[in-house]
Amino acid sequence: MNSVKSRVYLLVMSAICLALCLVLPFLTGQIPQIGSALSPMHIPVLLCGFLCGPVYAGVVGAVAPLLRFALFGMPPLFPTGVAMCFELAAYGLIAGALYRRLPASRASIYAALIVAMLGGRVVWGVVRVLLSGVSGSAFTWAAFMSGAFFNAVPGIIVHIVLIPVIVMALERAVPSLRHAKAA
């Protein structure tokens, strides 16, 4: 792909992923516990990392919670939305960077995804600790483990099952997918 086509592709794919970040939570929004457990905004950001690379995915991840709050009032901006901005940006950055650097294989997709999910959760925890210092409330180890892992098990399973299947299908449909990422 030439440079202009590549940038247009990356912008369009990033915009689609951002739009999905805004729309997917409506599928689970009627029952907030299910929505927070399935983490529907995480899916498009992780896909953006694989499709568009770390920079575009990092921007989509950072912007999505803010834009969704501005348009729909959810997620609550402080502390949830702010922490999600950093968490989703980390997801996109890590998934995109690892996917580009690891050899082209099914195992590499899973490795990039799992490391991104762990890294994003650690970033979320660090930001929540920092924000709790600002707000004066406590964010304990138990709260971190509960929010990042125990309550997130359904979303973790959905991500591990769904995202690699989509990425592998796109790799078959668009053989130049790994090479299309300029950022």
> Of 22, 12, 117, 124, which is closest to residue 66 (Cα–Cα)?
22
Q: Long-range contacts made by residues 73-78, C-beta under 8 angstroms, separation at least 24?
A: 74/25, 74/29, 78/131, 78/135
User: For residue 178, what pLDDT is reported?
Assistant: 64
- pLDDT, averaged per 10 consecutive residues of the chain (183 residues), comes to 77 96 85 73 96 96 96 89 95 96 92 95 88 73 72 86 94 72 44
Residue 61 has what pLDDT? Answer: 97
Which one is the CATH code of 3-180: 3.40.50.720, 1.10.10.10, 1.10.1760.20, 2.40.160.60?
A: 1.10.1760.20
Q: Which two tokens stand for residue 116?
A: 């991104």
**Sign of the alpha-carbon dihedral angle for 54, 59, 65, 68:** negative
Domains of the chain by residue range: 3-180
The reported pLDDT for the residue numbered 106 is 92
Q: Give the pLDDT of residue 32.
A: 66
Amino acid identity of 33? Q
